[in-house]
Structure 1
Amino acid sequence: MPKRALLIVNRKSRSGTSDLNAVTERLKRSGMDVLPWALDRPEQIPEMIRRHAADVDLAVVGGGDGSLNAAAPALIETRLPLGVLPMGTANDLARTLQIPVDIDQASDIIAGGLLHRIDLGRVNDRYFFNAAHIGLGVHAREHLSTDVKRRWGVFGYARSLFKALSSFRPFHADIVCDGRRKRVRSIQISVGNGRHYGGGMTIAEEASIDDRLFFLYSIEPRSIWELVRYAPAFRAGKFEDYHPVDIERGRSIRITTSRTMRISADGEAVSHTPAIFEMIAGAVTVYVPPAYLESRKEEIHVAQG
């Protein structure tokens, strides 16, 4: 029997005005029965998934990381597999899973039917796929309007970060990671579940969205010129040789800060400190390309020596 697919496209995402009929036909040609919906707000996505869960075999979400985050609670509840159509600005989950931004190619990956279980992070009862932030990155969001994202694309993230640096004050934080306690003075704390965030920045070169681990880093206060010098390390996720960065790995993290700080997850404001991070291992099943599983086999082999 053909697979029955619920197709949801967020029209407000960067490429959300793409032809819904064309995407529908592409999936139909692969043998699927498709139920298409175009929505204007990400918060409508989970209700749509719950409403049609009994009538379909998979949920395909077209949008950015915010749209995918919105779908997460309903995906866990319904246990529907997820097909990813990258239509946002950053598309960091797609980047982590090696899903191309070309919609036809992404549709072919869903049609290929190769499924893989990935982890979800949860901070103060809000789910995230990629990374959550406390500090400078959250402050930078105030300079990252929808218009800036549409005009500058992924370069809008760097533009907003430089604007935020001039007005942000450092803070102190107590971090407890799997029972290990550390006190830091920081301008930015990031907790990653996946490998990429912020339009292609790398949380750590060895991070994976299916390794059941968070990767945390905290950046000590430095001048803007020093931070610019460290930019290649942040892009590649290679921090070991850089003193201003504290690194932790673990499955359970608690962070308290000297003043109440906002928390963002995958580009959306979600909560405030204190923050409790929990790892939800293997929470979502997603369609992935064969190249992703091949790369994971190679990485695991290298890690095991």
Structure 2
Amino acid sequence: MPKRALLIINRKSRNGNSDLHTVTERLKRSGMDVLPWALDRPEQIPDMIRRHAADVDLAVVGGGDGSLNAAAPALIETRLPLGVLPMGTANDLARTLQIPIDIDQASDIVAGGVPHKIDLGRVNGRYFFNAAHIGLGVHAREHLSPDVKRRWGVFGYARSLFKALSSFRPFHADIVCDGRRKRVRSIQISVGNGRHYGGGMTIAQEASIDDRLFYLYSIEPLPLWDLVKYAPAFRAGRFEDYHPVDIEQGHSIRIATSRTMTISADGEVVSRTPATFDMIAGAVTVFVPPAYLESRKEVLHVAQR
């Protein structure tokens, strides 16, 4: 029997003006029955999934990481598998799962990929796939308007970060990770569930979205030029040799800050400190390319040697 797919495209995402009919026909040619919808707001996505959960076998979401984040609660409730069509600016979940940015190729993975369970992070009760941030990254978001995203693409993230540096003040934080306590002076704390964030930045070299671990880093206050010098390390997630970065990993994290601070997750403001992070292992089933599973086997093989 053909799969019955609920196709939801967020028209406000960067490439959400893709032809809904073309995507629908591509999925139909693979043997799927498709129920297509184009929405204007991410917050409409979970209700749409819940409404049609009994009539379909999977939910396909076309949009950016914010659209996928909006779908998370309904995916957990309905247990529908997820197909990802990366149509946003950063598309970090797609990067983590090695899903191509090309919509035709991504559609083929929805139709013929491998179902695979991935973890979800949760901060103060709000779910996230990729990473949550406290500090400079959240402040930079204020400079990242939809117009900047459209004009600059992923380079808009770097542009907004440098604009934010001039007005951001460092803060103190108490971090408890799996019972281990640490106090830091920081400009940025990031907690990653997945591997990528911010348009391809890497939370840690060994991070994965299916390893049941959070990876945390905290950056000490640094001059602008030092941040520029360390930029390649931040891009690749290679922090081991850099003194200004504190690193932790664990299953449960609590963070209290010297002043109340905003928390963003998957590019959206979700809460304020103090923050409690917990992990929901294997929470969502996603269709991934076989190459992703092969790469995970290689990583596990190396880790076991």
Which residue is 1:92 aligned to? 92
Q: SS where residue 25 of structure 2 aligns?
A: helix
Q: Give the superposed CA RMSD.
A: 0.4
Other-structure match for 2:122: 122
1:77: Cα distance to partner?
0.2
Q: How does 1:164-203 map to 2 (within 5 A)?
A: 164-203=164-203
Alignment of 1:201-240 (within 5 A): 201-240=201-240
SS in 1 for 2:89: coil
Contact 2:113 2:289 in 1 (8 A): no
Question: C-alpha distance in 2, partners of 1:116/1:108?
Answer: 16
Asked if 1:146 corresponds to 2:133, the answer is no
Q: Aligned partners of 2:79, 2:112: CA distance in 1, in Å? A: 19
Unaligned runs of 5+ in 2: none
Equivalent in the alignment of 2:256: 256
Count how many residue pairs are aligned between Structure 1 and Structure 2. Answer: 305
Preserved CA contact (<8 Å) 2:119 2:129? yes
Structure 1, unaligned runs of 5 or more: none
Aligned letter for 1:36? P
Query: Structure 1 residue runs of 4+, over 6 Å off?
Result: none
Tell me what 1:26 maps to.
26
The alignment-based identity, stated in percent, is: 89
SS, match of residue 230 in structure 1: helix
Tell me the alpha carbon deviations over residues 146-199 of structure 1, each in whole angstroms, 9 at most, x when there is no partner. 000000000000000000001000000000000000000000000000000000
- Separation in structure 2 between the aligned mates of residue 114 and residue 189 of structure 1, nearest angstrom: 34
Distance (whole Å) between structure 1 residues aligned to residue 57 and residue 3 of structure 2: 6
Corresponding letter in the other structure for 1:102:
D
- Cα distance in 2 between the residues matched to 1:5 and 1:138: 35
Partner letter of residue 121 of structure 2? G
1:4, CA displacement in angstroms? Answer: 0.2
TM-score for the superposition, normalised by structure 1: 1.00
SS in 1 for 2:148: helix
Query: Residues 261-280 of structure 1: matches in 2 within 5 Å?
Result: 261-280=261-280
| C-alpha deviation, 1:113, in angstroms | 3.9
1:229 Cα deviation after fit: 0.3
Deviations 1:260-297 (A, max 9, x none): 00000011000000000000000000000000000000
Q: Secondary structure at the match of 1:169?
A: coil
Amino acid at match of 1:129: F
CA separation in 2, counterparts of 1:254 and 1:114? 35
